[in-house]
Amino acid sequence: MFFWTTKRKRYLQTIRDAVETYPGGLLFAHSDGRIILANRRMNELFNELVGHTIMNAKVGWQELTKVRRDYPMSFNIDYLRIGEQYKESIYFEMDDKHIWRFTWKDITIENDSFRQGVADDVTEQYRLGEKLYQNTLRTRELHARQKKLLKEITKVNLDKELLQAKMRVHDKFG
């Protein structure tokens, strides 16, 4: 029995170490919101945004949603959503100018329901997304300009052909 307890403690410590070394925020909770495991980074982010560490996943999500309305640098970004694996996402720009995405999803393991919360630093994706968005706007402007130029070229060519036809008629009939 002692061996099993020691082995189990080692497994649990390994899991805890893996969760703590994750560079973003990570949280697992029961379906009713009771926290099973939350790493230090998730608690630090919550503390910065809400003013305290996370005590309940459901209440914490509600608090983040409320903070989003009042927080000057919160937003929703569709182009950062990769697939539909996360149905709920909130983005915050922190004081250090890093963009954090908080996502929540329900997971089921052997007929038990849990909530998984993840906070990822998506600053680089956000900056690249901004550049891509600006490039798309420039491309649209260039496309519109190109269309306008094409219409003008077509009009000039038609006018030129009409003028040549008039000159031929004038030359033939005097």
- Reported as a pLDDT band with limits 50, 70 and 90, residue 79 is very low
Query: From the CA atom positions of the chain, what is the Rg in Å?
Result: 30
Task: Give rounded-to-5 percent helix, strand, coil for the chain.
Answer: 55, 25, 20
91-120 pLDDT tens trace: 888 888 899 989 888 888 888 889 999 999
DSSP 31: T
Cα separation, 11 vs 108, in Å, equals 21
Residue 5 has pLDDT above 80, yes or no: no
Spatial neighbors of 47 by CB under 8 A, at least 6 apart, are: 53
Mean pLDDT of the region 16-36: 90
Residue 157 clears pLDDT 80, i.e. is over it: yes
CB hemisphere CA count around 32 (13 angstroms):
1
> What is the average pLDDT across 158-172?
87
In this predicted structure, what is the pLDDT of residue 154? 92
By three-state DSSP, how is residue 1 classified? coil
Burial class (CB within 10 angstroms; exposed 0-12, middle 13-18, buried 19+) of 163: exposed
Closest CA to 46 of 21, 32, 25: 25
- Please, which pLDDT band fits residue 83 given cuts at 50, 70 and 90? very low
Cα 138 from Cα 131, distance rounded (Å) = 10
CB proximity list for 77: less than 8 A, separation 6 or greater: 91, 126, 129
pLDDT of residue 91: 84
pLDDT for 18: 84
